[in-house]
Amino acid sequence: MEKGPKQKGGPGMAGALAGVLGLCLLAAILLTGDGGRASEAAAPAMLTMPRLSAAASVDTEIGEQVIPLGRAVGIKLFSDGVLVVGLSPVETERGAQYPGRDCGLKAGDVITHINGEEVDTIEEIQEMVAQQQGEQLTIQAVRGQRQLQLTTAPVANSQGNYQLGVWLRDSMAGIGTVTFYDPETGVFAALGHGINDVDTAMLMPLESGAIMEATVSDVKKGVSGQPGELHGQFDLTRDLGTLYANTNLGIFGQLDQNELTQGLEPVEVADREQIHTGKATILSNIRGDKVEEFDIEITKLFLDGDGTRNLMVQVTDQGLLETTGGIVQGMSGSPILQDGRLVGAVTHVLVSDPQRGYGILAENMIRQADSCRQAQMS
């Protein structure tokens, strides 16, 4: 069985996550020839998560006051169960064998139990596989909405180590942008889309997670056909807030430290009927820990949907264009302001034209945040 980085707490955390600091959170999409809605391209670091069905039934009063942030943060996420990201042969003295594939496991399955015991880390699975010494074991897994129970026997590779022939992932880390903070509840929202596994495009099922202070060190400038990205470092030793939901409309949690919001004033959240094409701004953190305001244009509105692409935007700020080339990965979640109100957040960049991208309505994020908070409290 192949190893993957996950240790929940402890000194091993820094080493486990340090290798993925370059993971930036923003979807990249290809623009269709007609200039209308875009088709999804491979989007490193996230996927759309099935939206919480309860969200639409929650009566959230649009127009409440929240604090727009635009601050880049480190994000770490630990999965609920262990995600299968691939299958591979085990090279044995009798040739290649496929115990994981042959028992029915597929990429995208989430392993939740081995021999009836709950598992959340790769290390736990490795220990149980080693203990079996080639004897049969049972695997409980989730595939979409289906519960699976499978049986297989690990096989020894040429070095005598027992393996299942599966690639696993149980954690992710990266840099993204916090959209807003609600001073009444302490809830924060970020990204405007879910965090997805880079190999399977599956939404990472969340067991626990946190945001941490980050510093943007440099920017890879975006060009046509190749989105840019923010590079940075974050402090793994101190959490600023706790994550409790990873959804297709953003990630949500509780802010534990107030340093991100010091000196900032709340603004009204725009109702969708108040949003119009024309001039707007975004708040984004593209150097150090400084949040700056940049000019954009809202060029098209898609206000009927509840998804992540309700606004088409174009960067017009010359300073931002010179530094980043437009929208880059890591800016996902940057608040969009118009007429003194929070109207949305940046979510996607067009691969063919990094000056353009999409944004989600703040209204949709507010509704989802409220739904997740109620679910957390129930």
In a domain? residue 84: no
What is the per-residue pLDDT for 353? Answer: 96
Beta carbons of 245 and 271 less than 8 angstroms apart? no
Looking at the structure, tell me whether residues 120 and 105 fall in a common domain: yes
Q: How would DSSP label each residue in 52-117? A: PGGGGGS---TT-EEEEEEEEEEEEEEEEEEEEEEE--EEETTEEE-HHHHTT--TT-EEEEETTE
* CATH number of the domain where residue 75 is located: 2.40.10.120
List the structure tokens of 359: 């944004």
Asked whether residue 132 is domain-assigned, the answer is: yes
* pLDDT for res 56: 33
Question: How many domains does the chain divide into?
Answer: 2
Q: What pLDDT, on the 0 to 100 scale, is given for residue 375?
A: 84
Within this chain, do residues 262 and 183 fall inside the same structural domain, yes or no?
yes
Residue 246 sits in the same domain as residue 197:
yes
Same domain, 104 and 195: no
Residue 364 covered by a domain: yes
> Domain end: 164, 180, 214, which one?
164
Is the Cβ–Cβ distance between 280 and 337 less than 8 Å? yes
Within its chain, how far is the Cα of 362 from the centroid?
17
Tell me what pLDDT residue 243 has. Answer: 96
Among 107, 141, 164, where does a domain finish?
Answer: 164
Task: Tell me, yes or no, if 317 is annotated catalytic.
Answer: yes
Active-site annotation holder among 109, 120, 182, 317: 317
Q: Are residues 181 and 276 in the same domain?
A: yes
**330 and 362 co-located in one domain:** yes
Give catalytic status of residue 332 as yes or no.
yes
Say whether both 39 and 137 belong to one domain. no
Please identify which of the residues 171, 284, 332, 371 carries the catalytic annotation. 332
- Residue 132, C-beta contacts closer than 8 angstroms, at least 6 positions apart: 153, 154, 162
Tokens of residue 206, six digits: 């969340």
9 domain-assigned = no
The pLDDT score that the predictor gives to residue 306 is 77
Quote the DSSP letter at residue 107.
Answer: T
pLDDT, block means (10 residues), the chain with 378 residues: 40 27 43 33 29 34 78 94 95 94 96 96 95 94 95 94 95 93 93 91 92 94 94 88 95 91 94 96 96 98 89 98 96 97 96 96 93 82
Q: Tell which of 134, 164, 194 closes a domain.
A: 164
Of 170, 193, 197, 371, the catalytic one is: 193
Q: Are 288 and 215 within 8 A, CB to CB?
A: yes
Matching residue, tokens 């994550």: 243
Q: Helix, strand or coil for residue 373?
A: helix
